[in-house]
């Protein structure tokens, strides 16, 4: 076998709290992450020399700036393989949308090359490599639902989680993650919404999960981009049980009772010019 095809899933943040800046320059966060069915398609093939990336999106860097490239470089060096790799990315997850597409692509690359190169790295070893590539990469190696702390790479996965339908809306512009972290308003008092999310997840209560969606970035992001606040408001008005910003933006998502509810809300946005996806909460294949 010299090639593997994988789905590379997007994520949403069900809750996201930014607690302060760490000594290493990163921010301390607590966030509940969930993979959803929106995905890129990744083909990893051993061939020739070096690392080549092909992508259908002109906005994706096809060089060492790409996180999948970095993942391939690390494992090729570890394996001392006398071959290169071609990574083909069919992009569906938008760039700079807070959906984790780049990190997800890197995780898919690690999983594929671990198998193709017969490295037999353990899950823990892959997570450690992933941390050096991007803080969300370890999460995407497993997927599903997890509480992420520290830089976002200290993970506790949930074994029992509620399934839900959602609608993701991308306004066709991105938000700078570094700007968002530099300007986020840190909490003066601790919030317990993360604990409420965890309880709702463990009890399989979708309505309670949706009622406790919260994202610390919404204050500063909605102030700068009021259209995103309007998108969230409209989602709620059209039947969403709850809505939230994805990561530091720019996507917004809502959770619905069922697929039909998400489809009715989607119809309202059909003439908006935004990119929209009905999604289902999921785990990796």
**97, 102, 100, 98: which is closest to 60 by C-alpha?**
102
Q: Any binding-site annotation on 101?
A: yes
pLDDT value at residue 57: 96
Catalytic residue selected from 136, 153, 232, 238? 136
pLDDT value at residue 191: 79
Q: Any binding-site annotation on 176?
A: no
| Residue 127, CA distances (Å) to 123, 133, 134, 231, 252 in order | 6, 10, 10, 35, 28
Reported as a single tens digit per residue, the pLDDT across 263-275 is 999 999 988 999 9
Contact 3, 44 (CB under 8 A): yes
Q: Tally the domains of the chain.
A: 2
Are both 17 and 141 inside the same structural domain? yes
Q: Which residues of the chain have pLDDT under 50?
A: none
Q: Any binding-site annotation on 244?
A: no
Distance of CA 59 to the CA centre of its chain: 18
Domain containing residue 16: 3-157
| Token representation of residue 62 | 């096809």
Residue 82 lies in a domain: yes
pLDDT value at residue 185: 92
Q: Considering the entire predicted model, what is its pTM?
A: 0.96
- Quote the mean pLDDT of the chain: 95
Q: Any binding-site annotation on 67?
A: no
201 SS3 class: helix
Are both 107 and 244 inside the same structural domain? no
Q: H or E element: which one contains 218?
A: helix 218-224
Q: H or E element: which one contains 264?
A: helix 259-268
Question: How does DSSP classify residue 169?
Answer: E
pLDDT value at residue 163: 94
Residue with tokens 């949403």: 12
Q: Decide if 136 is catalytic.
A: yes
Reported as a single tens digit per residue, the pLDDT across 9-23 is 999 999 999 998 888
Q: Any binding-site annotation on 152?
A: no
Are both 190 and 267 inside the same structural domain? yes
| Helix and strand counts by DSSP (H, E) for the chain | 10, 11
Q: What is the CATH number of the domain that holds 65?
A: 3.30.230.10
In angstroms, the CA 256 to CA 244 distance is 12
Reported as a single tens digit per residue, the pLDDT across 230-255 is 999 999 999 999 999 999 999 999 99
pLDDT value at residue 55: 98
Domain limit, last residue, from 118, 133, 157: 157
pLDDT value at residue 187: 86
| Token representation of residue 83 | 């071959």
pLDDT value at residue 188: 82
Q: Any binding-site annotation on 95?
A: yes
pLDDT value at residue 160: 84
Residue 285 lies in a domain: no
Which ranges in 117-192 belong to alpha helices (H)? Answer: 123-133, 137-142, 177-183
Q: Decide if 70 is catalytic.
A: no
Q: H or E element: which one contains 104?
A: helix 101-116
pLDDT value at residue 207: 96
């Amino acid at each position: 076998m010299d090639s593997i095809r994988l789905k590379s899933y997007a994520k949403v943040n069900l809750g996201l709290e930014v607690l302060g800046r760490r000594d290493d320059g990163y921010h301390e966060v607590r966030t509940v992450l969930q993979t959803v069915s929106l995905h890129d398609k990744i083909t990893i093939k051993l061939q020739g020399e070096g690392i080549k990336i092909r992508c259908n999106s002109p906005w994706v860097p096809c060089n060492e700036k790409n996180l999948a490239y970095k993942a391939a470089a690390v494992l090729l060096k570890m394996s001392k393989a006398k071959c290169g790799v071609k990574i083909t990315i069919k992009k569906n997850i938008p760039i700079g949308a807070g959906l984790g597409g780049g990190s997800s692509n890197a995780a898919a690359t690690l999983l594929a090359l671990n198998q193709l190169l017969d490295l037999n790295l353990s899950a823990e070893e892959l997570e450690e490599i992933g941390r050096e590539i991007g803080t969300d990469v370890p999460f995407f190696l497993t997927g599903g639902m997890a509480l992420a702390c520290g830089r976002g790479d200290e993970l506790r996965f949930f074994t029992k989680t509620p399934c839900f339908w959602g609608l993701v809306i991308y306004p066709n512009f991105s938000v700078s993650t570094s700007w968002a972290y530099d300007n986020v308003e840190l909490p003066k008092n601790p919030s317990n919404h993360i604990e409420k999310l965890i309880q709702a997840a463990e009890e399989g209560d979708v309505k309670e999960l949706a009622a406790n969606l919260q994202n610390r970035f919404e204050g500063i992001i909605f102030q700068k981009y009021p259209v995103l606040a309007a998108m969230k408001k409209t989602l709620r008005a059209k039947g969403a049980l709850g809505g939230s910003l994805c990561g530091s933006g720019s996507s917004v998502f809502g959770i619905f009772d069922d697929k039909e509810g998400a489809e009715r809300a989607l119809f309202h946005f059909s003439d908006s010019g935004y990119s929209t996806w009905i999604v289902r909460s999921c785990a990796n294949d």
